[in-house]
Chains A and B, each alone.
Chain A
Amino acid sequence: MDNLIRFENVSFSYGTNKVLENIDLTAGEGEFLAVLGYNGSGKSTLAKLINGILVPTSGKVYVDGMDTSDETKLADIRKTAGMVFQNPDNQIVATIVEEDIAFAPENLGLDPSEIRTRVDDAIRAVGLEKHIKDAPHKLSGGQKQRVAIAGVLAMQPRCIILDEPTAMLDPKGRSLVMGVIERLNREKGITIILITHFMEEAALADRIVILSDGKIAENGTPRQVFSDRERMISLGLEVPPVTELTLDLIGNGLPLEKDIIHPEELTEALIKMKEAAV
C-alpha cells in the first residue's frame, strides 16, 4: 500500500456548482505535498474530501485503502488523516493547552495513562512543553497553531492535512509552524498535505499540485513548477522572489539554471561562477 491517499476520478459539486472535476491524485507514505491555487480553486474542498468531511459526488477517495464514503470507517479514516485549519482560535476546544491536546484521545476512549503519554509526546513534538498548563487565548497565533497541530498529533495520524495553517500568522509564527511541519515529515515520516498561498512554503515540498478552476493544472516538483513564471502568474500565483531574481539574471545573460528555488542555491551558484571567472 504505497499510496496512503488516493483520489480516483473525483468530482464534487455544491448543488449545481461544480467545485472539483475529475481529480486523480495520490500522496505516498511520507511524502510532502503542497497544494496551490487561487481562492475558490477548490483547495479546501479537496482537503475536506480526504478525511470524509465531504464525500465525492462521483469517484472515490481512499485513505490507507479505506473508502471515505464508508461511514463505518470514518473514525479510522480521521485517525489516519488528521486536519489542521487556518484559524487557530476556531479549532481549540478546551481552556487549558493539555486538555485541548487530550481532546481527540479522549474521544477515542483511550486510558488516562495512554492519553497522558500521547499528550506529552505531542506537546514535545511542537516544542510547547512550557505552556502545557496555559490558557490557549494567552498564547500567540503561532503557538496556538502549534497547539492545534499537537491536538491532531495526539491521534497518531500517518497523514496531516493543513489548510493554510500560516495564513493568519506573523513571519516568526509562520517559520516556527513550518519548522514543526517539516520536522514531522522528516523525522516521523508523516505524510504532509499543505495547502498554502506562500510560494516559499511550497518550495519546501517534495511535490506541488496546482488547482485551477476545479482541475489539476500542474503536478510536479517545485523546480519544474516554479521555473515557468508566466504559467504561474496565469494561474493566479507567483514565483518565489529568488526564482524571480534568477530568471531576471538569466535574462541578463548569466549562465544559471532556471529551476533555482532556494536562496542558498542561488548564492552558491553565483559564488562558484565568480571563482571560476577570477
Chain B
Amino acid sequence: MRDITLGQYINGDSVIHRLDPRVRLILTLAYIVILFMFNTLLQMVLALVMILLAYALVKIPVKMLLKSLKPIIPIILFTSVLNMFFIKGDVVFSFWKIAVTKQGLYYAAMMSLRVICLLAGSSLLTYTSTPIQLTSALESLFKPLSKLGLPVNDLAMMMTIALRFIPTLLEETDKIMAAQKSRGANLDTGNFIQRAKALTPILIPLFVSAFRRADELALAMECRCYNGGEGRTRLNALKIRRLDYIAVAVFTVCCVLLFMAGRLAV
C-alpha cells in the first residue's frame, strides 16, 4: 500500500522513537553537518559505526538499510570512479591511459561512506518519525519566525491536511480510472501526446472532486470554530524530557570523539 500518511515510518517503541521529534530532527541535521566537516577515512568509518549502532537501537534489520541504499548505488559508483581516476598521486596500478592512485582510492572510499551515512542518517529520521511528527517539529522550531509574519501555524495546518487527503485522493484516482476504463478510455497505449490527452478524463473529475472536498472541509472546519492558527492549543504538546537531554549529550560526546579521531589520523 502507498501509505503516505505514515511514510516510511516503522512502528516501534525504541529509545529513538521516544525522543521528542524536534530532537530527532536536530540531531539528524547535526549528523549531516558533521559528515561534511569530517575529511578522514577513519572519521567516516566511525560515523558509519555510530549510525549502525543507532539502527541497532531501533532494531531495524540491516537488510532494510541495504535495500534503501540500492537506488543510490549508481551515484556511489559514479563519484567513486571519478575520484579514483582523476585524483593525482601515487599510482597503485594503471591500465591503458588511466592510473588509479592511492589518494584516489582513499577519497573514493571516503566519499562513498559519506553518501551511505547521509542516506542512513536521513532514513533513520523517517523510519522513526511520522510525517505528522515532523510537521509539528518543524512548526515548533519555526515558531519564532511567526513574529516576522511567516504564517507558521497555517503552513503546518496545510501540511497536515495534505497528508490527510493524499490517501483519499489516491483512492479516488483509482476509482475514476476504473470508471473511465469501463467506458473504453485507453490509458495504456499510444505515444506521449496521446497518453497525455487520455489523462483528461481522469484529471478533470479529480480536480472537480478535490475542489469540492476542499470546499466542504473548509465549511466543516469553520463549524468546529477554526479561525486560523492564532490562539490554538495542542492536545499533544511537544515536550523535552530527560531522555532527550541524555540523547543530546551522548550524541555530543560521540561527535567530540570523532573530531579527536580526526586529529589523531593527521
Contact = CB atoms under 8 A, between A and B. Distances in A.
Nearest to A79: B225
A103 B164 CA distance: 14
A53 B224 contact: no
B160 A93 contact: yes
Contacts of A91: 216-217, 220
B224 A103 contact: yes
B224 A78 contact: yes
B231 interface: yes
A107 B160 contact: no
B225 A78 contact: yes
B165 to A, nearest CB: 8
A94 B160 contact: yes
B234 A137 contact: no
Contacts of B220: 83, 85, 90-91, 93, 148
Given A96-B132, A135-B5, A75 B168 contact: no
Given A89-B213, A90-B220, A95-B164, A107 B225 contact: yes
Contacts of B3: 135
Contacts of B236: 99, 112
A121 B226 CA distance: 21
B57 interface: no
Contacts of A109: 231-233
Contacts of B265: none
A95 B160 contact: yes
Nearest to B222: A53
A106 B233 contact: yes
Contacts of B216: 85, 87, 90-91
A112 B237 contact: yes
Given A89-B168, A136-B164, A106 B234 contact: yes
Given A78-B223, A78-B224, A135-B5, A90 B217 contact: yes
Nearest to A113: B235
A148 B227 CA distance: 19
B219 A106 contact: no
Contacts, number: 105
B221 interface: yes
A83 B219 CA distance: 10
Nearest to B136: A99
A155 B222 CA distance: 13
A194 to B, nearest CB: 16
B161 interface: yes
A110 interface: yes
B50 interface: no
Contacts of B6: 135
A82 interface: yes
Contacts of B171: 137
A155 B220 CA distance: 13
Nearest to B215: A90
Given A89-B213, A137-B168, A82 B235 contact: no
B167 interface: yes
B54 interface: no
B105 interface: no
Contact of B224 (A96, A98, A151): A151
A115 B66 CA distance: 43
Given A90-B213, A136-B164, A119 B235 contact: yes
Contacts of A151: 224
Contacts of A155: 224-225
Contact of A107 (B163, B168, B224): B224
Interface in B217-261: 217, 219-227, 231-237
Contacts of A106: 232-235
Q: Which of A90, A102, A115, A119 has the most CB of B within 10 A?
A: A90
A92 B227 contact: no
B235 A102 contact: yes
A116 interface: yes
A51 B223 contact: yes
Contacts of B233: 105-106, 109-112, 115
Contacts of B225: 75, 78-79, 104, 107-108, 155
Contacts of B222: 53, 78
22 contacts: A53-B223, A75-B225, A75-B227, A78-B223, A78-B224, A83-B223, A85-B219, A87-B213, A87-B216, A90-B216, A90-B220, A91-B216, A91-B217, A92-B164, A104-B226, A106-B235, A107-B232, A109-B233, A112-B237, A137-B171, A148-B220, A152-B223
Interface of A: 51, 53, 75, 78-79, 82-83, 85, 87, 89-96, 98-99, 102-112, 115-116, 119, 135-137, 148, 151-152, 155
List the 10 closest pairs (A to B, CB-CB), nearest first. Answer: A91-B220, A102-B235, A90-B216, A104-B224, A107-B225, A83-B223, A137-B167, A115-B235, A109-B231, A90-B213
Given A75-B227, A83-B223, A112-B234, 7 more contacts: A89-B213, A95-B130, A99-B236, A107-B225, A107-B227, A115-B234, A135-B3
